[in-house]
């Protein structure tokens, strides 16, 4: 059986340094160290669960396997990936797909069919549970097309090579590229689903095969009764990262509504409430996911613990409440930014107060925790954190903001050069009516944040829906939200977005100074560097995690460079050599740079005595100014702290072109 084309040969790819066993071990150890730095908790699994920066939970080995697969797996356009949540029909769909894909060389009614000696999980391997484990980098090049693989990982964690293969190109937004099956529907009509599956992967059954009973033979071969009776099921084992698992453990007759035999009404209400909130307005999605929610195999946990873990998301391979992540990825490729959830859309309110209250109630229902802010942080369904008011402001902006094609949006993480970029942009756009060297320039009397307002911190706050129609073009706005939470009108308008990012360590230190400055004015104990490092690495900073925020705009810039301009703070600080235009020759550019310089801006009365009204109250303008020197983090962080942040940065930005940040 070792020669069969679907078996994975346990060789290794000669990919640079990874060809050496020691280097493979180093790669696994590096990712092991990264995962070990994440927050942990007890969950549905008997082993400790770690929380990925994007919100997913699992034990350490599958996460490491996922990262190694991301670094090493080379996808082909002909590959087929089975993606499921654990215990949602994975074994059955593997059996159907394998038998259908190999039906010509392995007849379903043949006495020597591979299923007579191998289980479905031995025929179609999991990437993170079987292939990328125990320091292995498997050689998959010899597998014949179409290669079949499986995963329980969420869409956002699929190996990046899939996004560069033709199959995962921009056409991913079309339904003919992603096939969704409901387990109950498959149970009711397996024949039509098998025909759809064959058509989808490009191996349709011809008339002769249908007439000769090939379809029926495959369904019979893969039926529960047949598979459960095979010697490969009764006596065989599948080797995974946790050891040898009896193949019989993967088979259980999954009956729809079996949950009624285990869950009392109160527990059902809890799960139903979460399901309706997450998928409100789309009954087909609710019906599709009810099996995933309610037919989980009861393990050693009590039913109470099981439901609690489901309610908080603490189950392994936490894809359960994240079907929107697939939509996010599709939308991102086609520049469809931040479509709101149905819960956000279906407000049906008549007043501003009701609109704000609706979103306040929604945010209040999300998981919360302590973070870098003294305010409680709430975790958005799409993975970012912030206190309740900015989250509500972002949602109201998403609902009410009407973008124009001439608008300009400044997008940043807090303390990454926002104030400086705002000043430069405002002075540049208005340079003809307000020469930079004029004594009455607006920046002499107003702070940059008063000239260019934040959507979620200034405009959409305190039950306000501002009238922005009378603003002169080009209108300029700012935001700290990640790309996927930008108001949906921004994508439709085609307006420009300017993003600036900063070295993560310097960004974190600047946040530390800003927060402690604020704490000091309000009589609070300052944050320690150790605490801030923990919060920052866990993503518990305003609209963090840092890495997800930066990558979201970087990918948008790569997809649409004519619309999204991406700056690095450190590069902005350097002087560049350019061929001077007429305005440059006349000193206009130099005047703007001088006007917006740190030395000039901090000397202005508007900075020394002025205030900017934000969602948290009046902030002294001087609080927004601090001389941001590249590499200042070295004066604050221990080598171990710096290494911890660098390890995350390297893992998150690997292959993106941002690793030099």
What is the C-alpha to C-alpha distance for residues 219 and 205, in angstroms, rounded to an integer? 13
Is residue 434 within 8 Å of 442, Cβ to Cβ? yes
Please name every residue paired with 385 in a beta bridge, in sequence order, or none if there are none.
Answer: 379
Select from 428, 464, 393, 450 the least CA-distant residue to 591.
428
Distances (CA, A) of 624 to 34, 199, 619: 33, 59, 9
Return phi, psi of residue 501, to 5°: -125, 170
User: What is the distance, to the nearest Å, from the Cα of residue 268 to the centroid of all Cα atoms in its chain?
Assistant: 29
Compute the residue count for the chain. 661
Catalytically annotated residue among 113, 480, 549, 555: 480
Is residue 480 among the annotated active site residues? yes
Distances (CA, A) of 462 to 313, 414, 448, 569, 574: 32, 21, 22, 32, 40
CA end-to-end span of the chain: 49
Return phi, psi of residue 16, to 5°: 55, -135
Residue with tokens 């490009």: 202
Torsion of CA 240, 244, 249, 250, to 10 degrees: 30
Please name every residue paired with 412 in a beta bridge, in sequence order, or none if there are none.
Answer: 500
What are the strands, taking DSSP E only, across 95-234? 148-151
Distances (CA, A) of 98 to 90, 118, 247, 388: 12, 12, 16, 48
Cα torsion angle, 229, 230, 231, 232, sign: negative
Q: Residue 397 contacts by C-beta under 8 Å, 6 or more apart in sequence?
A: 455, 456, 459, 460, 479, 487
What is the C-alpha to C-alpha distance for residues 124 and 96, in angstroms, rounded to an integer? 11
Q: Which helix (H) or strand (E) holds 602?
A: helix 598-603
Q: Residue 254 contacts by C-beta under 8 Å, 6 or more apart in sequence?
A: 87, 89, 183, 187, 291, 295
> To 5 degrees, how large is the angle CA 643–CA 649–CA 650?
85
Select from 329, 337, 322 the least CA-distant residue to 170.
329
Token reading at 397: 């902006």
Is residue 228 within 8 Å of 115, Cβ to Cβ? no
What is the C-alpha to C-alpha distance for residues 211 and 151, in angstroms, rounded to an integer? 34
Distances (CA, A) of 635 to 205, 513, 632, 640, 642: 67, 13, 6, 13, 11
> To 5 degrees, how large is the angle CA 480–CA 321–CA 382?
5
As annotated, the active-site residues are 480
């Amino acid at each position: 059986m070792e020669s069969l084309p679907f078996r994975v040969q346990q060789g290794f790819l000669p990919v640079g340094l990874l060809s050496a066993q020691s280097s493979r071990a180093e790669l696994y150890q590096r990712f092991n160290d990264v995962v070990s730095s994440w927050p942990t908790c007890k969950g549905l699994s008997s082993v400790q669960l770690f929380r990925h920066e994007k919100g997913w939970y699992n034990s350490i080995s599958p996460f490491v396997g996922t990262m190694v697969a991301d670094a090493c797996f080379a996808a082909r356009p002909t590959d087929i990936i089975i993606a499921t949540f654990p215990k949602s029909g994975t074994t059955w769909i593997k059996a159907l797909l394998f038998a259908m894909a190999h039906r010509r060389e392995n007849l379903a009614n043949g006495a020597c069919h591979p299923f007579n000696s191998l289980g479905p999980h031995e025929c179609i391997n999991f990437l993170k549970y079987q292939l990328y484990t125990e320091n292995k980098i498997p050689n998959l090049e010899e597998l014949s097309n179409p290669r079949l693989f499986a995963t329980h990982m969420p869409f956002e964690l699929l190996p990046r090579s899939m996004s560069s293969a033709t199959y995962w190109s921009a056409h991913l937004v079309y339904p003919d590229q992603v096939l969704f099956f409901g387990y109950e529907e498959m149970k009711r009509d397996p024949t039509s689903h098998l025909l759809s599956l064959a058509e989808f992967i490009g191996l349709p059954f011809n008339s002769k095969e249908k007439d000769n009973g090939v379809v029926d033979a495959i369904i019979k071969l893969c039926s529960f009764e047949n598979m459960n009776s095979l010697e490969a099921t009764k006596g065989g084992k599948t080797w995974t990262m946790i050891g040898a698992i009896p193949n019989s453990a993967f088979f259980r007759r999954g009956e729809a509504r079996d949950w009624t035999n285990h869950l009392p009404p109160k527990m059902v209400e809890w799960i139903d409430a979460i399901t309706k909130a997450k998928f409100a307005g789309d009954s087909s999605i609710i019906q599709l996911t009810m099996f995933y929610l309610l037919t989980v195999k009861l393990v050693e946990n009590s039913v109470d613990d099981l439901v609690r873990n489901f309610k908080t998301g603490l189950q392994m391979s936490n894809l359960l409440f994240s079907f929107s992540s697939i939509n996010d990825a599709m939308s991102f490729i086609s520049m469809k930014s931040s479509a709101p959830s149905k819960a956000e859309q279906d407000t049906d309110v008549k007043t501003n107060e009701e609109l704000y209250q609706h979103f306040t109630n929604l945010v209040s229902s999300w998981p919360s925790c302590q973070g870098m802010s003294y305010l409680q942080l709430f975790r958005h369904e799409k993975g970012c954190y912030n206190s309740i008011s900015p989250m509500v402001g972002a949602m109201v902006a998403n609902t009410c903001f009407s973008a124009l094609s001439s608008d300009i949006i400044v997008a940043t993480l807090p303390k990454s050069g926002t104030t400086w970029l705002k000043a430069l942009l405002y002075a540049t756009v208005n340079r003809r009516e307000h020469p930079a060297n004029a004594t009455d320039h607006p920046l002499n009397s107003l702070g940059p944040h008063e000239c260019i307002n934040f959507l979620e911190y200034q405009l959409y706050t305190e039950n306000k829906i501002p009238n922005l129609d009378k603003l002169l073009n080009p209108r300029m706005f700012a935001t700290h939200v990640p790309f996927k939470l930008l108001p949906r009108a921004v994508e439709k308008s085609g307006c420009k977005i300017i993003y600036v990012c900063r070295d993560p360590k310097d960004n974190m230190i600047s946040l530390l100074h800003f927060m402690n400055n604020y704490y000091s004015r309000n009589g609070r104990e300052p944050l320690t560097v150790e605490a801030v490092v923990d919060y920052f690495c866990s993503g518990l900073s305003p609209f963090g995690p840092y890495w997800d925020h930066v990558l979201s705009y970087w990918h948008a810039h790569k997809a649409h460079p004519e619309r999204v301009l991406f700056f690095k703070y450190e590069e902005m600080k350097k002087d560049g050599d350019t061929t001077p235009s007429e305005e440059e020759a006349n000193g206009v550019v130099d005047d703007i740079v001088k006007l917006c310089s740190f030395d000039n801006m901090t000397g202005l009365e508007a900075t020394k005595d002025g205030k900017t009204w934000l969602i948290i109250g009046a902030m002294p303008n001087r609080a927004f100014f601090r001389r941001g020197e590249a590499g200042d983090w070295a004066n604050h962080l221990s080598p171990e702290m710096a290494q911890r942040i660098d390890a995350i940065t390297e893992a998150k930005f690997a292959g993106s072109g941002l690793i030099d940040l």
